[in-house]
Structure 1
């Protein structure tokens, strides 16, 4: 009879927090237009797929293949906007150096410079369910795949696509 190796609960909790941190780097990178931070959350061959979320809003978001393309496409379209991406209900499942993540992300979008103006009402407020697959890259966790499905939306969807 062999016994399973003991689970290091401290290491498991640390890894789960680091997986969640990939989502936080993604969100803060978008909100601040910080391409380096945003890129740190992605593997070189990442697939970002928001096609389902876009379709529900009448928008065409093609799947994006590759970190360089994702950084250019999303930082240039979302980065200039006044945005906040807030992640909640983050759930992480670990499997060695691989992980999956589920979360709700509430994303508020205003045209550039208009987010704090009280008389501005044109906006896009989206609640999306994110699903991600991640791998450990050294000590850093990065998304290999990230997809979103829209749960509800309020406002003008064109703002979320960078169409102002």
Structure 2
């Protein structure tokens, strides 16, 4: 899969950051996941509830290695983007639904699952190196969940 897509408008390129991250998780593709993050920035962070993870190596351990190995599908919709003309910083919000199964159990209709719904709040910056928009700070607010939280290690 190609990380960089041609002919995207600035707003599409910002949305594509979120899509790259989620696609990387759902396909267990670390290069795709990493392409969505300001991985070299020591202040890059993700917050899930009260837990804040700082630094890309820690995000890889806490998020990618735990979720990427699962059978998952992440959906995001109602994306709203705040981008000032000519700026290299933006923010977005979106709704999310995510279905999680233990590895290899996604096709098992009797398998335990976890379905979550919530909101994403993301601050992004345009990377001067490769020109891609990337996550600086991501806050996930879960509104509800159904199923077995132990699937994601909680």
TM-score by length of 2: 0.86
Question: Tell me, what secondary structure is at the counterpart of 1:63?
Answer: strand
Aligned to 1:136: 126
Residues 1:42 and 2:37 are matched in the alignment: yes
Contact persistence 2:45–2:55 (CA under 8 A): yes
After TM superposition, list the pairs within 5 Å mapping 1:13-92 onto structure 2: 14-43=9-38, 44-45=40-41, 46-52=44-50, 62-92=51-81
Instruction: Give the 4+ runs in structure 1 shifted more than 3 A.
Output: none
- Higher helix proportion, which one? 1
Superposed CA RMSD in Å reads: 1.6
C-alpha distance after superposition, 1:98-154 (max 9, x if no partner): 10010011100001100011222x111001200000001132000100001111111
Structure 1 portions without partners, runs of 5+: 1-10, 53-61
Structure 2 portions without partners, runs of 5+: 1-6
After TM superposition, list the pairs within 5 Å mapping 1:88-107 onto structure 2: 88-95=77-84, 96-107=87-98
TM-score by length of 1: 0.81
C-alpha distance after superposition, 1:2-57 (max 9, x if no partner): xxxxxxxxx9x8111101001001101111111111111111331101124xxxxx
